[in-house]
């Protein structure tokens, strides 16, 4: 298991204590936390308080560096995802929980639509009930 410090270094992000704690939190859950979840989750993990600005700055930095990704399944807040490989999402409409769906569970979609739309990528959100 590669350390979070190494991971951040490999992505060109200087591994400050705050960044390591924040990255650790997002990377070690499958819950697709919001920024607010992260803020609460990392509180008390360091002798200093981790400010709201640092949480948002760090999440944006980690997304830009490709360490994590954002996912928008519902309005209100964006969520963060440790899984940066191509995949889709399933939202359990009862609990609100979000599950990863591997890319190849789903048929490939066309790379061009109606002649005039050149597709660079797509995201599928499934809604339903998980068992």
Partner DNA sequence: TTCCATAGTTAGACTAAGTCTAAGTTATGG
Partner DNA sequence: CCATAACTTAGACTTAGTCTAACTATGGAA
* Interface ranges with Mn ion (CB under 5 A): 78
Q: Give residue number: closest CB to Zn ion.
A: 81
- How far is 7 from 23, CA to CA, in rounded Å? 10
| Chain CA centroid to CA 39, Å | 15
Q: Which of 45, 37, 51, 18 is nearest to 82 (CA)?
A: 37
Asked if residue 10 binds DNA (CB under 7 A), the reply is no
**Which one of Zn ion, DNA, Mn ion, none is in contact with 93 (Cβ closer than 5 to 8 A by kind)?**
none
Q: Which does 94 bind (CB under 5 to 8 A by kind): Mn ion, DNA, a copy of itself, none?
A: none
Could you write out the DSSP letters of every residue in 15-47? Answer: --HHHHHHHHHHHT-SS--BHHHHHHHHTTSSS
Query: For DNA, which stretch binds (CB under 7 A), given 14-22, 81-89, 94-102, 110-118?
Result: 14-22
Binding Zn ion by CB under 5 A: which of 92, 100, 101, 126?
100
Secondary structure of residue 92 in the 3-state scheme:
strand
Interface ranges with Zn ion (CB under 5 A): 81, 83, 100
């Amino acid at each position: 298991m590669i350390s979070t410090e190494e991971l951040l270094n490999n992505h060109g992000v200087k591994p400050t204590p705050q960044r390591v704690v924040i990255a650790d939190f997002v990377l070690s859950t499958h819950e697709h936390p919001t920024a607010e979840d992260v803020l609460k989750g990392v509180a008390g993990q360091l002798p200093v308080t981790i400010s709201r600005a640092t949480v948002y700055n760090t999440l944006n930095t980690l997304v830009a560096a490709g360490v994590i990704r954002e996912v928008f399944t519902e309005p209100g807040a964006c969520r963060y995802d440790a899984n940066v490989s191509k995949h889709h999402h399933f939202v359990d409409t009862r609990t609100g929980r979000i599950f990863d769906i591997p890319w190849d569970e789903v048929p490939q979609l066309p790379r061009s639509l109606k002649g005039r739309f050149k597709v660079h990528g797509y995201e599928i959100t499934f809604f339903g009930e998980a068992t």
